[in-house]
């Protein structure tokens, strides 16, 4: 998703649209965006809002994480927002790079049941289920954590696909947004709020409209499945049966 303008170009366009000389003198005198410009934070605000509320495919990355032996907790990366559903890939055979398998993310209520079911399990190479819950408890970081079940009894290598928090924009860096107008219009509205020409909250209403547009366009669901699969933990075969998960539906 290429964007045409970089951070400073977007700011100058937004300030030009706002037509507020006193703000331009503060933020970009002689066409040079200052490090203490209000619009730098405004642009970062709309970018952070969009990534949090409307996660989309361009923000997805894969990162290696470690599942430590005899621990059911994994500290997630500092830029983690949300995992891609069932996006945890676990090496099921130690040392075999071709043995990675997807593991299932389950709601907290089901996860607690899975933990109870597997408690006391021994010789566990890798977890089967995970749940995103809580943080690391460290005031300075407060990174989110992942719980896994059953608890592996050996160190396990994993990869996690997730939506990432955007880094702070540099002067010549292009933000990754669906289109540049979102950024320039948001800056213009925030500028008019700052001047007292618009009521407080006008920019937030603009953001709410962007969310409605994203839902209507299907952009928010782009990286996810376009169908709802059967839950194989509900429609599962009987113990000892050779039938597969979907035999309950009968012959096709």
The CA-atom distances, in angstroms, between 108 and each of 100, 101, 113, 232, 237 are 24, 21, 9, 17, 24
CA dist., res. 240 & res. 114, Å (int): 20
Q: Are residues 42 and 100 in the same domain?
A: no
Token pair 């994993």: residue: 158
Q: Are residues 140 and 91 in the same domain?
A: yes
Residue 214 in tokens: 């994203």
Q: Are residues 66 and 152 in the same domain?
A: yes
* Cβ neighbour number for residue 149 with a 10 Å cutoff: 25
Interhelix angle 38-53/7-18, nearest 10 degrees: 110
Give the pLDDT band (50/70/90) at residue 226.
low
CB 24 within 8 A of CB 15: yes
**What does DSSP say about strands 156-164 and 129-135: parallel, antiparallel, or unpaired?**
unpaired
Q: Are residues 157 and 68 in the same domain?
A: yes
Taking residues 225-242, what's their average pLDDT? 57
CB 206 within 8 A of CB 186: yes
Token pair 């066409």: residue: 31
Q: Are residues 48 and 65 in the same domain?
A: no
Q: How many structural domains does the chain have?
A: 2
Q: Are residues 117 and 138 in the same domain?
A: yes
CB 55 within 8 A of CB 81: yes
CB 106 within 8 A of CB 169: no
**Looking at the predicted structure, is the pLDDT value of residue 222 above 60?**
no
The answer to whether residue 76 is domain-embedded is yes
The answer to whether residue 251 is domain-embedded is no
**Looking at the predicted structure, is the pLDDT value of residue 192 above 90?**
yes
Q: Are residues 62 and 136 in the same domain?
A: yes
> Mean pLDDT for the chain?
87
The answer to whether residue 246 is domain-embedded is no
The answer to whether residue 128 is domain-embedded is yes
**Looking at the predicted structure, is the pLDDT value of residue 152 above 90?**
yes
Taking residues 224-252, what's their average pLDDT? 57
Helix (H) or strand (E) holding 74: strand 73-75
Give the pLDDT band (50/70/90) at residue 213.
confident
Domain extent, residue 193, equals 7-54+178-217
Give the pLDDT band (50/70/90) at residue 181.
very high
CA dist., res. 224 & res. 168, Å (int): 27
Taking residues 159-176, what's their average pLDDT? 92
Q: Are residues 182 and 194 in the same domain?
A: yes
Q: Are residues 138 and 208 in the same domain?
A: no
Token pair 């709601």: residue: 107
CA dist., res. 232 & res. 77, Å (int): 29
Taking residues 41-69, what's their average pLDDT? 88
Q: Return the closest-CA partner of residue 168 out of 7, 80, 44.
A: 44
pLDDT, tens only, 2-48: 689 999 999 999 999 999 999 999 999 999 999 999 999 999 999 99
Token pair 């160190």: residue: 155
Q: What is the pLDDT of residue 54?
A: 79
Q: Are residues 141 and 44 in the same domain?
A: no
The answer to whether residue 250 is domain-embedded is no
The answer to whether residue 43 is domain-embedded is yes
Report percent pLDDT > 70 for the chain.
Answer: 84
């Amino acid at each position: 998703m290429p964007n045409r303008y970089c951070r400073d170009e977007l700011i100058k366009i937004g300030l030009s649209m706002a037509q507020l000389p006193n703000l331009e003198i503060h933020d970009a005198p002689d066409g040079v965006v200052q490090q203490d410009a209000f619009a730098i934070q405004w642009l970062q605000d709309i970018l952070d809002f969009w990534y949090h509320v409307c996660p989309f495919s361009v923000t997805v990355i894969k990162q290696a994480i470690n599942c430590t032996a005899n621990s059911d907790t994994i500290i997630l990366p500092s830029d983690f927002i949300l995992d891609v559903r069932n996006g945890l890939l676990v090496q099921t055979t130690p040392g075999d790079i071709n043995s990675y398998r997807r593991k299932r993310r389950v709601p907290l209520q089901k996860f607690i049941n899975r933990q109870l079911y597997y408690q006391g399990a021994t010789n566990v190479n890798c977890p089967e289920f995970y749940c995103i819950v809580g943080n690391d408890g460290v005031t300075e970081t407060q990174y989110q954590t992942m719980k896994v079940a059953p608890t592996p009894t050996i160190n396990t290598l994993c990869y996690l696909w997730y939506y990432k928090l955007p880094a702070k924009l540099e002067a010549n860096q292009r933000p990754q947004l669906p289109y540049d107008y979102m950024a320039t219009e948001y800056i213009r509205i925030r500028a008019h709020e700052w001047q007292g020409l618009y009521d407080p909250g006008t920019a937030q209403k603009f953001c709410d409209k962007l969310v409605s547009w994203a839902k209507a366009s299907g952009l928010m669901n782009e990286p996810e499945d376009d169908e709802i699969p059967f839950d194989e933990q509900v429609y599962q075969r009987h113990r000892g049966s050779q039938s597969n998960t979907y035999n309950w539906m009968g012959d096709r």
